[in-house]
């Protein structure tokens, strides 16, 4: 009897520049122990702690990218989307890894069940300052100009933004940085046939049942990888959160 198809959905790995970092080692182990037995893997953003251009990132994370490529070559489909830390993933990265890019909001049919997949920062609409910054960073012209800066300058800016983001998160009330119910409801109303929304970003893994007329819909929140990953496993069309230590 053949094994049932398995799909894993994860986010917020935050791979570090140090290949021996516990997070990096755990991710490689996930690829070789769990992912290798799966038909599909979806990574919903922030795979990398920072990404300031394919020319730098493909060198810094060469070992991890090679491991993803090896997984693809053995037959597992890998899909990777943008997060708020690695929104500059471009064509060279996808060619090097063999992964398929995801749209900002992706509708995916997995084992006969439709899922709506996204990083999740789009739903934090109460944090208006962040949303303004996000729109600015995602502007094609801004990205075009940034990627033409010298490598050393991009590294410097990337590190400053990373530190600033950490400070910003400590100063903001957690309620503001979490997803807004109104944003979730508005999104799900736009996709009435889809019952499962999956996202990361907030690092608050949980299963949420929506209210009112949307009570037949579920929001799955993925965890980060510190100290252990909370990922979504889909088997025979049935999703559930599982831990990878």
In this structure, is residue 1 part of a structural domain? no
Distance between CA 60 and CA 134 in Å, rounded?
A: 25
In this structure, is residue 106 part of a structural domain? yes
In this structure, is residue 53 part of a structural domain? yes
Task: Compute CA distances 17 → 59, 119, 234, whole Å.
Answer: 10, 22, 30
Task: Out of 55-69, 103-117, 172-186, pick the least confident.
Answer: 172-186
In this structure, is residue 194 part of a structural domain? yes
Cβ partners under 8 Å of residue 94, min gap 6: 80, 100, 101
pLDDT of 143-188, one tens digit each? 999 999 999 999 999 888 888 777 766 666 666 678 999 999 999 9
For residue 85, the domain's CATH number is: 3.60.21.10
pTM for this entry? 0.94
State the first-to-last Cα distance of the chain, in angstroms, to the nearest integer. Answer: 29
β-sheet bridge partners, residue 100: 79
Boundaries of domain holding 230: 6-244
In this structure, is residue 43 part of a structural domain? yes
Work out how many domains the chain is built from and give that number.
1
pLDDT of 63-73, one tens digit each? 999 999 999 99
Mean pLDDT, the chain, rounded, equals: 93
pLDDT beyond 60 at 2: no
């Amino acid at each position: 009897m053949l094994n049932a198809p398995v799909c894993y959905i994860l986010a917020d790995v935050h791979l570090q520049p140090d290949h021996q970092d516990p997070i990096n080692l755990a991710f490689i182990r996930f690829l070789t122990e769990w992912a290798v037995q799966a038909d599909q893997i979806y990574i919903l953003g922030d795979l990398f702690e920072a990404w300031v251009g394919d020319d730098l990132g493909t060198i810094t994370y060469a070992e991890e990218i090679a491991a993803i490529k090896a997984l693809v070559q053995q037959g597992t489909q890998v899909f990777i989307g943008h997060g708020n830390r690695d929104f500059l993933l471009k064509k060279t990265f996808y060619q090097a890894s063999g992964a398929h890019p995801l749209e900002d909001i992706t509708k995916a049919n997995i084992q006969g069940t439709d899922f709506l997949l996204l990083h999740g920062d789009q739903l934090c609409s109460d944090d208006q300052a962040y949303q303004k910054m996000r729109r600015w960073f995602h502007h094609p012209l801004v990205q075009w100009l940034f990627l033409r800066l010298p490598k050393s300058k991009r590294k410097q800016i990337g590190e400053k933004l990373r530190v600033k983001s950490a400070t910003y998160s400590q100063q903001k009330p957690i309620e503001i940085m979490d997803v807004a119910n109104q944003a979730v409801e508005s999104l799900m109303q736009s996709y009435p046939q889809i019952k499962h929304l999956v996202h990361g970003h907030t690092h608050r893994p949980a299963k949420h049942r929506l209210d009112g007329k949307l009570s037949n819909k579920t929001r799955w929140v993925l965890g980060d990888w510190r100290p252990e990953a909370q990922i979504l496993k889909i088997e025979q069309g049935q999703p559930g959160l599982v831990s990878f230590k």
